[in-house]
Amino acid sequence: MQKEQLYGRRVLINQAQPAPFGLVGEKTMVIRGSVVICRRCNARLKKTDVALPDGSCYCPVCLNLGRVTSHDYFYHLEEPNHFSPLPDPCSWQGQLSPLQEVVAREVARGMAEHHHRLLWAVTGAGKTEMIFLALTEALKRGERVAIASPRVDVCLELYPRLQAAFKKVPIALLHGKNPQPYQYRQLTICTTHQLLRFYHAFDNLVIDEVDAFPFASDPGLHFAASQAIKEDGGLLYLTATPSKELLERVRQKKLKVSYLPQRFHGHPLPQIQTVLVGRWRKKLNKGVLPRQTKTWLVTRIKRHQEFLLFVPHVVDLVPIARALKNELGAVKFMTVHASDPDRLDKVQAMRDHQLAFLVTTTILERGVTFPGIDVGVLGADSEIFSTAALVQIAGRVGRSLERPGGAVTFWIQENSRRIEEARRQIAEMNRRARKLK
């Protein structure tokens, strides 16, 4: 094991293994009476529930990162920022709009002072490009920076964009499906689960799509983020749909905020259109699409207009795929969901224009960009679609300068408060954007 593998990392070593470089390890678990606390994910466990035959205890919460038992140790070396100077790390030749420039400079100043900040910008506002200045200045200062997201799809989209924008900077990409070994890098892109492996590593940490599952509802991942940054480290949250908890922290002045209600091209967010359909699942089970849905699909296929078609649940994918084949013939499409082993390849096929459309669950509600697409949601009134999810789904449309508009169509059986709230939020964002002109 090289020393670099321990810089800012918590490396798990079994008790039977020798300590690397003569380091003294830290016990992986704290036992207080009947309670066991995992030092990696901060889970508090009942001792009798996690006891092993040899008398040790283990943590089932972060088991997918390697089993932690009370007989094991964590080793790490303090982050030395052992990087070669980069006087001009950014190779991006793009240009920000005046409003983007204001936000970008504000974020860069905050990152220099290691603020904890929320960047709240509408879908398609160019959040990634707006952090380039902050990343550039941080890299010039010799800081170590990470960009994390709850979704592996987002990481896979960010990685080539960051590689193109920072061609001189070696970038690490870390996620559970990546076969490449860990490498010590000044700039890291990773899933939020990978933050559980770091300890006081980063001078600044950016968390993209902070309100997305599973990060938003997982205290262990919030703990991981707090442990991954240095004691005086900065934290930047990115989202178009901040949670009530984030906004409450802003209101209490515990979190600074930068706000941009306008897309990079200046055009408004496409508004949601709803269409009432009957018992659509019953139709699908007979191999038939709702008439209104079929008309919408056929129109786009004839125009060679690519689109995403969302459904509420994984169990809906088989019947809708059957109905689509019956009704549309040899049109090329695929279905995808979170546990699909070919998920990454299917998303890439859509990016590469190899498909007419992709049928998906909420896994593609955010963080991925297919320029120029339309979006349809069958069963948008299902409780699985939160207001934030509906806003994010609508935000997949109109993200390119060449086609800043497009169709967002929801097929529903009944009116939904969540859909009306999503419409209201989109209208409010557009109203605020108009006031900026």
Count of Cβ atoms closer than 10 Å to residue 137 Cβ: 16
Tokens 């606390």, residue located: 37
Distance of alpha carbon 340 from alpha carbon 335, whole angstroms: 9
Tokens 């900077």, residue located: 169
pLDDT score of 183: 94
Tokens 């459904």, residue located: 311
SS3 state at 232 = strand
Exposed, middle or buried by CB within 10 Å (0-12, 13-18, 19+), for 196? Answer: buried
Distance of alpha carbon 372 from alpha carbon 398, whole angstroms: 6
Mean pLDDT by 10 residues, the chain (437 residues): 88 74 83 96 97 95 92 91 92 95 98 98 96 98 97 94 97 93 96 96 97 93 97 97 95 96 95 96 96 98 98 98 96 96 95 97 93 97 97 97 96 96 97 89
Annotated domain spans of the chain: 3-75, 98-260, 273-435
Please name the fold of domain 273-435. Rossmann fold (3.40.50)
The tally of CA atoms less than 13 A away on the side-chain side of residue 417 is 1
Picking from 132, 196, 191, 189, the residue whose alpha carbon sits closest to that of residue 166 is 132
User: Do 98-260 and 273-435 have matching folds?
Assistant: yes
Long-range (24+ apart) CB contacts under 8 A made by 65-69 are 65/40, 65/193, 65/196, 65/197, 66/12, 68/12, 68/28, 68/29, 68/38, 68/40, 69/28, 69/29
Beta bridge partners of 275: 411
Picking from 192, 194, 193, 174, the residue whose alpha carbon sits closest to that of residue 238 is 192
pLDDT score of 15: 65
SS3 state at 236 = strand
pLDDT score of 16: 63
> Is 3.40.50.1950 the CATH number for 98-260?
no
Tokens 């005086």, residue located: 232
Distance of alpha carbon 155 from alpha carbon 159, whole angstroms: 6
